[in-house]
Amino acid sequence: MASVLQFTVLFLHSTALSVLGTLVVSEIPQERAMPRLQLGEYTPAKLEPTKQGEEPIGQQELKVNFYATTCPNAENLVAQEMKLVQAEDPSLMPSLIRLHFHDCFVRGCDGSVLLDSGSGTEEKDATISRSLRGFSTIERLKKVVENECPKVVSCADILAMAAREAVFLSQGPRYNVETGRRDGSISIENETYTNLPPVNGSITAIKRVYAKKNLTTKDLVVLSGAHSLGVSHCASFSYLLYNYNGTGSTDPTLNSMYAEKLKQQCSPNDDNTIVQMGSGNPLTLSSGYFKSVEDKQVVFNSDEALLHNKATRAYVDEQASATSSQKFFDDFSRSMINMGRVQVLTGNKGVIRSVCTDYY
């Protein structure tokens, strides 16, 4: 179930993101879908606490206010422009979060998802990337910053700042973004399939992807909360409603009333209709997502899979009964910072691109 994110989305998976992935507007071809897990298949696990103040080896050059002397107004410029973007099209907020998730999970947070040679072989050309949005917004933000500080602020940092502002403008927290990333010059379509968290994968498969990125089980479940944002096409999950696992029936793990509601919105073979994920406001980040997971009112395996691990389920249950989103916001801020450290290029590595779609 979806984000980044794919996503997505989230985000988070692949469309949120996967969570990142999966994050947000999630698009997964039906033929790639996997059967959902059955409730009760728990995998014993300990929910690792995020280690405060710890940076992975080789990434110590990332820091808050990296551009304090070279482009001191960079973050304000991005924040001001993002307010205008949000006023013009609020639906871009979850899309930009998902874009950041996608970028960090495929090659690391190096802006590689933005590259475009026109050859049809880049990350953005992959099937699971085709619903990504926000590329022109990142170029718009980049131009604003370039006008004041030419070739100083990387596209990777612009994307990280944009995601932070998108979270904040979606009524989420406004956390400190560590900056100092440089841009990569490699973008390979096939890498999206092997590096994004599988939106329709098991909890074991999703944990494996996060672990490869030096992210914890807690990061996984927290970042999945980005799926409170965004919408999805009926085509992404209609098989759950009308032909689950080839049986011609509805997925039995779906909340029956929720399934009937979705059927009223999505007819069989409906490729165009868009519906919101969960029961909350698709433009508002909140811990209400976890209540939807607990109530089995989610349509992507990456969401429902959180119920199949003791550690992730404990967090779902805790947040589902929470009277405030504050703890989730605190955790989300820390996990976004952790994700922003994944395989970054700093120092003399990478380049600073003037145009985010160009390789140099």
Does 233 show up as a binding residue in the annotation?
A: no
330 is in an annotated binding site: no
Where does residue 323 rank: exposed (0-12), middle (13-18), buried (19+ CB within 10 A)?
exposed
Task: Confirm or deny that 106 is annotated as ligand binding.
Answer: yes
Residue 189, both tokens: 């379509």
Phi-psi region of 275 (alpha: psi -120 to 50; beta: other; left: phi over 0): beta
183 is in an annotated binding site: no
- On whether 308 is known to bind a ligand per the annotation, the reply is no
Catalytic residue among 13, 102, 233, 308: 102
Q: Is 108 annotated as a binding residue?
A: yes
Nearest to 305 by CA among 348, 253, 259: 253
**d(Cα 240, Cα 250) in Å, to the nearest integer?**
6
Ligand-binding annotation for 110, yes or no, is yes
100 is catalytic: no
Q: Is 227 annotated as a binding residue?
A: yes
User: Which residues belong to the annotated binding site for Ca(2+)?
Assistant: 103, 106, 108, 110, 112, 123
- In the annotated binding site for heme b, the residues are 227
**Active site members:** 102
Known binding-site positions:
103, 106, 108, 110, 112, 123, 197, 227
